[in-house]
Amino acid sequence: MVSSNLKINHERLLADFEQLSKIGLTANNGICRLALSREDLEARSWFADRIEEAGFLVHDDDAGNLSGILPCDNPKAKTLLIGSHLDTVLNAGRYDGAVGVLAAFESLRTINEAGIKLPVHLEVIDFTDDEGAWQPMFGSLSLTGRLPKNYLRDANGEMSSFRAALIRAGINPEHVHRARRAAADLAGYIEVHIEQGWRLERSRVDIGVVTGIVGRSSYQYAFHGQAGHSGTSSMWERRDALQGAAIFITRAHELVREHYPEGVINCGNVEVKPGTRTIIPSEVIVTIECRHVDEAMLSEMEQALIGLAHECAQAYRLTVTSDRFGHIATAMMSDSVIGAIEKACNQLGATHTRLASYASHNAQVMSTFTESGMLFIPSVNGISHNPAEFSRWEDVVRGTNVLMHAILNMALRQ
Amino acid sequence: MVSSNLKINHERLLADFEQLSKIGLTANNGICRLALSREDLEARSWFADRIEEAGFLVHDDDAGNLSGILPCDNPKAKTLLIGSHLDTVLNAGRYDGAVGVLAAFESLRTINEAGIKLPVHLEVIDFTDDEGAWQPMFGSLSLTGRLPKNYLRDANGEMSSFRAALIRAGINPEHVHRARRAAADLAGYIEVHIEQGWRLERSRVDIGVVTGIVGRSSYQYAFHGQAGHSGTSSMWERRDALQGAAIFITRAHELVREHYPEGVINCGNVEVKPGTRTIIPSEVIVTIECRHVDEAMLSEMEQALIGLAHECAQAYRLTVTSDRFGHIATAMMSDSVIGAIEKACNQLGATHTRLASYASHNAQVMSTFTESGMLFIPSVNGISHNPAEFSRWEDVVRGTNVLMHAILNMALRQ
């Protein structure tokens, strides 16, 4: 067992964080490093330089996943992956993803400098397009061989633009499947991330040990009514698609709050047709996303929302159709990785609690492939996907130390 | 007084109606003659041919208003205008506007053929762009000298496209102001139109005599909240702009139905920002139009809606701003025109009732300039701005006969 006195170099970590935070900085102090954008490529190039500087091997697979490898003496050893992502959503903060990659990198540097010999290769990985500028989890889906064949066609944005963005990043769209690895070559996957909620902060706990990641289903509800003249149609006898959609939005949130306290929904978009002030809306499309930590409850909640939509439609003499256009199953984290993280917390005197992740992460994809786990550090006010996203630096440092010792615990267990 | 036995030629009117209904016919049996479009220009050219055929003078002013004039013997006489419009909204029906122009034209033909000498010129007019493909009431605003100077800049659609459309229609954008007439030259304005509601049909009354046209105010309400991660933000503590907007839409309709029975609103569009399913909406813009027959009540209703919006915003810890971007004042019809119409109804044995118009019409603009009035014929099921728009042919014929005798009553009163 490695002494719990071994600590990462927090000044070096901070210097890295500050440099990375300048890449994609926007006028409102936010970060924009959409996957495969110029800013994302700049961040990757910066990171490749850091990997070389540290004396690790730079590895760049056919899906653009960028790694730094600290090899062990046995070339046939398995690889323990530790990662996150450098890409961001639009108008993002500095911590989401970036902390995970830099913490993993700093852990490897510290282990390397301490001269610790491990029975596994250690590999820090920046997964391509975690956030889904084009295809959420593009990198981890490719690495695990689960990227759909027609991924280009179903991507967000134009197919030709996605293709161009891949090629610009040096990725051949036809060769992405070559990024697939063999599960037998892996010793596990571990990731540190900001919580993006306020559970840890409010309960004053240092580390969240993730037990599972919520399943997600995405729907489009289309409410159909009848167009009409906005002035001459009676206020009592309209078949106004927007009135049905509006009451549905209100009542859907009430339903989830009252009956599914562990469920989460978001109505993220509304499209009104024809969308002009002088015509009563004939069609309204509501985009809604559902999450639940329990797969069966997620399904029950989805059915309850469909029932509610029909009830709201009937009240305004409308019809409604629902189309589930995306589903990611609930993922359970590995007991052995949970154990390695909790042991590291105890070694370092960090308080910890088990919790579910309401956000998707690459660990969700990796968990179908290899023993995987995650740890969360507190987010101030739970703000995320927003320039105001913030975590205290001492929490970032503590989380990185826990990560490093969790890596050691996992590696030495082999 | 002219004998009430004088009747229009309903077969000729029907033939005109059937020919006009073929211009701009769409695949779903609707009509599309957007102002200044190829179809609109085709309808105008067809109508100019009919005017010439009838032996009237064709007149085409600098705003593209197209008229047929039946002159009286005294060249210095005033002109009684009778009109409506040949343009339509997108995906319209066959009756809105077209009935008014054809009924006026048929009335003039019948009066001419009967050899009746009147002390005024009679002029049937097709006003340019009643429906606002570019600028609502473009023609009547130009004729009354009320078209805003920067009309090109503030139009719907691109300024350059509007300019091109005007030029294509033979209208010089710089010379539109020359269409202005002198109020002293006019003897009044009268228009027949479908009701676009079901009040006449349900009360089994033949003719609606319009007392006033509702005022209209258009607003954009912008609800501002906080963007956040759709999965990790607590369902109890969000500042979700869409939840505020949705409850506002529901309660705004309730408020008007309960407290302003003569008021009408329409929420015609909703825009959600950033508009993606994984981010909690930070801003939602609701476009809303308010109408009321009473100018003071319209203003009170507008204030009540602003108050409600603030209440709904506060309930979700949002802020809201309201921007009134359009207002057309309530217009009162002239007692003398109302009298001429009611007298004609009585002469012909048509039942009639006074009512307000909830739709805007050129009579609204004309009423600020000359004594104006309107009569409505029943609309089946009140459907309008829709291919299913329908009025029984006997009602169209009865309305045309009432219009003709109302014209005679007005003209002979001079």
ipTM: 0.81
Question: Pairing relation of β-strands B372-377 and B186-194?
Answer: parallel
Whole-number mean pLDDT of chain A?
95
Q: What percent of chain B has pLDDT over 70?
A: 100
Q: Look at residue A154 and tell me whether its pLDDT is greater than 80.
A: no
Is A39 a member of any domain?
yes
- B140–chain A nearest CA distance, Å: 20
Q: Look at residue A414 and tell me whether its pLDDT is greater than 70.
A: no
Burial label, A297 (beta-carbon count in 10 A; 0-12, 13-18, 19+) = middle
Partnered with residue A123 across adjacent β-strands are A69, A81
Does B26 lie in the same domain as B95?
A: yes
In whole angstroms, what is the distance from residue A65 CA to residue A62 CA?
Answer: 7
Last residue of a domain, one of A311, A328, A345: A328
Using pLDDT thresholds of 50, 70 and 90, give the confidence band for residue B67. very high
Which of B145, B148, B116 lies closest to B135, judged by CA? B148
**Interface residue of B131, B385, B391 to substitute, partner A, most A CBs within 10 Å:** B385
Q: Which chain A residues have a beta carbon less than 8 Å from that of B281?
A: 267-269
Q: How many domains does chain B have?
A: 2
Instruction: Test A232 with B382 for CB contact under 8 angstroms.
Output: yes
In whole angstroms, what is the distance from residue A50 CA to residue A35 CA?
Answer: 20
pLDDT at B385: 86
Does B302 lie in the same domain as B200?
A: no
Instruction: Test B196 with A277 for CB contact under 8 angstroms.
Output: no
Does A194 lie in the same domain as A151?
A: yes
Place of tokens 């609800």: B223
Does B351 lie in the same domain as B399?
A: yes
Tell me the Cα Rg of chain B: 23
Does A164 lie in the same domain as A51?
A: yes
pLDDT digits 0-9 by tens, B325-371: 888 889 999 999 999 999 999 999 999 999 999 999 999 999 999 99
Using pLDDT thresholds of 50, 70 and 90, give the confidence band for residue B1. low
Report DSSP state, residue A121.
E
Which of A281, A411, A253, A288 lies closest to A340, judged by CA? A411
In whole angstroms, what is the distance from residue A264 CA to residue B115 CA?
Answer: 78
Does B184 lie in the same domain as B223?
A: no
pLDDT at B3: 86
Last residue of a domain, one of A306, A328, A350: A328
Partner residue opposite B235 with nearest CB, options A216, A227, A253: A253
Instruction: Test A234 with B277 for CB contact under 8 angstroms.
Output: no
In whole angstroms, what is the distance from residue B247 CA to residue B238 CA?
Answer: 15
Q: How many Cβ pairs closer than 8 A exist between chain A and B?
A: 199
- A394–chain B nearest CA distance, Å: 22
Instruction: Test A235 with B264 for CB contact under 8 angstroms.
Output: yes
Using pLDDT thresholds of 50, 70 and 90, give the confidence band for residue A96. very high
Mean pLDDT on A376-405: 96
Range of the domain at A224: 215-328
Place of tokens 């559902």: A290
pLDDT at A232: 85
Does A315 lie in the same domain as A291?
A: yes
Instruction: Test A218 with B253 for CB contact under 8 angstroms.
Output: no
- B6–chain A nearest CA distance, Å: 33
- Global pTM reads 0.80
**Do residues A237 and B264 touch, judged by C-beta distance below 8 A?**
no
Instruction: Test A250 with B246 for CB contact under 8 angstroms.
Output: yes
pLDDT digits 0-9 by tens, A177-210: 999 999 999 999 999 999 999 999 999 999 999 9
Instruction: Test B267 with A242 for CB contact under 8 angstroms.
Output: yes
Instruction: Test B226 with A287 for CB contact under 8 angstroms.
Output: no
Q: Look at residue B239 and tell me whether its pLDDT is greater than 60.
A: yes
pLDDT digits 0-9 by tens, B25-65: 999 999 999 999 999 999 999 999 999 999 999 999 999 99
- ω into A119 cis (within 30 of 0): no
Using pLDDT thresholds of 50, 70 and 90, give the confidence band for residue B155. confident
Is A337 a member of any domain?
yes
In whole angstroms, what is the distance from residue A263 CA to residue A257 CA?
Answer: 8
pLDDT at A1: 67
In whole angstroms, what is the distance from residue B195 CA to residue B368 CA?
Answer: 22
Q: Look at residue B265 and tell me whether its pLDDT is greater than 80.
A: yes
Does B106 lie in the same domain as B235?
A: no
Contacts of A182 (CB under 8 A, 6+ apart): none
- B187–chain A nearest CA distance, Å: 29
